[in-house]
């Protein structure tokens, strides 16, 4: 299956397929020649050989580089080290840089592609569900800093996204479920049809039944491609894709990056942000009940770790990159297809935080 992100001369395909298609798919976008494949220490032993074989079979001359795995290594230091290796290897502006891994690897490699020689052709080969349905599409690249997530980076579109669905079989159950947090977010954004479908097919998707899984990924990618085509640099409607992220990023920051999986944080964040809608009278408890039930059906958490405290979560949102002129804007879900951008106050973040903490953790300390 093939979809497309329509961005004029910078449009690119999203191929839902297998790792063996990497070489032929890239050869349709760039003349075979030298390329660099960047993976991490976890994914490379599993999938680098197949990726390299596919590239060589299509006439490419690949070099393999590795970077550390995990959110804790999504840093300026990792990015700097990768750029140094690329320059040492003698890349030029026509050398495709290919990311083989999850969202963290894609973000780091994409930022390196954007910044090395002021731009190398960039290819995303996501190997996690989370990266397939979200991080690999749309051109957001970057790294974390101690102040918050993704505060240094750029918008830089790939020339190709190959969702290598055969790699999903090597994910741990926990990592696969993490990706379902972003699938759930897309269902909330798209509307009642996808939300209901996901509820009806939650067990099939969890079991990685091929037809259900492909449909879930395709619907997420199609929706995101449509949004990116309308608003590439998040000046308007694309900010809706941050649903669950305002609170979710705050949880990740407070716990330490990598302690809570991103998709888990997003799922919990949506429940907290839905509580703001209830407090405003824009939604009722029936909606939050439905959202909570589907979150649980997908094997995702509905409460944040008990060691978190409300004041700390409120303070963490002050580092959100979406804050402008002292005002924090969040994408608030009042129901399927009813997500709106709105300024939120510290008091409302407090309401959201209380909604997703265990009762014994709610009191400030």
Q: How far apart are the first and last CA of the chain?
A: 52
* pLDDT for res 325: 63
Catalytic residues: 118, 140, 182, 224, 234, 238, 242, 245, 249, 262
Write down the pLDDT at residue 359: 79
Express as a percent the part of the chain with pLDDT over 90.
Answer: 88
C-alpha 271: how far from chain center: 18
Q: Where are the domains of the chain?
A: 2-169, 173-361
Name the pLDDT band for 223 (thresholds 50, 70, 90): very high
Of 28, 74, 335, 40, residue with least CA distance to 187: 335
Per-residue confidence (pLDDT) for residue 259, from 0 to 100: 82
Overall average pLDDT of the 109-136 stretch: 97
Distances (CA, A) of 144 to 80, 141, 150, 209, 344: 13, 10, 5, 34, 24
Q: With bands split at pLDDT 50, 70 and 90, how would you rate the model's confidence at 363? A: very low
Q: What is the pLDDT of residue 34?
A: 97
For residue 306, is pLDDT > 50? yes
CATH number attached to the domain at 173-361: 1.20.1090.10
What fold is seen in the domain 2-169? Rossmann fold (3.40.50)
Q: Percentage of the chain surpassing pLDDT 70?
A: 98
Q: Which of 198-212, 272-286, 322-336 has the lowest mean pLDDT?
A: 322-336
Question: What is the b/e burial string over 128-164, where b = at least 16 CB atoms within 10 angstroms of the residue's CB?
Answer: bbbbbbbbbbbbbbbbbeeebbbebbeebbbbbbbbb
């Amino acid at each position: 299956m093939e979809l497309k992100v329509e961005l004029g001369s910078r449009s690119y395909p999203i191929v839902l397929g297998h790792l063996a298609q990497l070489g032929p798919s890239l050869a349709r976008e760039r003349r075979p020649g030298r390329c660099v494949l960047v993976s991490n220490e976890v994914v490379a032993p599993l999938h680098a050989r197949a990726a390299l074989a596919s590239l060589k079979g299509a006439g490419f001359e690949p070099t393999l580089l590795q970077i550390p795995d995990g959110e804790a290594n999504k840093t300026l230091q990792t990015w700097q080290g990768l750029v140094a290796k690329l320059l040492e290897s003698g890349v030029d502006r026509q050398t495709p840089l290919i990311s083989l891994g999850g969202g963290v690897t894609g973000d780091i490699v994409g930022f390196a592609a954007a910044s090395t020689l002021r731009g190398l052709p960039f290819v995303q080969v996501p190997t996690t569900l989370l990266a397939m349905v979200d991080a690999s599409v749309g051109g957001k690249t970057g790294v974390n800093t101690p102040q918050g997530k993704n505060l240094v980076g750029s918008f830089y579109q790939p020339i190709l996204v190959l969702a290598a669905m055969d790699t999903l079989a090597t994910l741990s159950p926990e990592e696969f479920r993490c990706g379902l947090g972003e699938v759930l977010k897309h269902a909330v954004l798209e509307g009642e049809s996808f939300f209901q479908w996901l509820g009806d097919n939650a067990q099939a998707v969890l079991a990685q039944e091929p037809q259900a899984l492909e449909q879930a990924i395709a619907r997420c990618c199609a929706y995101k491609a449509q949004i990116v085509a309308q608003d590439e640099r998040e000046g308007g409607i694309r900010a809706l894709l941050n649903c669950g992220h305002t609170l979710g990023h705050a949880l990740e920051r407070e716990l330490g990056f990598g302690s809570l999986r991103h998709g888990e944080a997003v799922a919990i964040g949506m429940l907290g942000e839905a509580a703001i809608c209830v407090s405003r009278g824009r939604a009722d408890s029936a909606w939050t009940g439905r959202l909570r039930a589907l979150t649980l059906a997908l094997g995702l958490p509905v409460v944040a770790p008990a060691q978190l405290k409300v004041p700390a979560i409120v303070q963490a949102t002050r580092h959100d990159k979406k804050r402008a002129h002292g005002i924090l804007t969040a994408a608030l879900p009042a129901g399927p297809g009813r997500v709106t951008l709105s300024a939120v106050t510290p008091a409302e973040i407090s309401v959201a935080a209380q909604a997703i903490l265990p009762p014994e953790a709610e009191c400030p300390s």
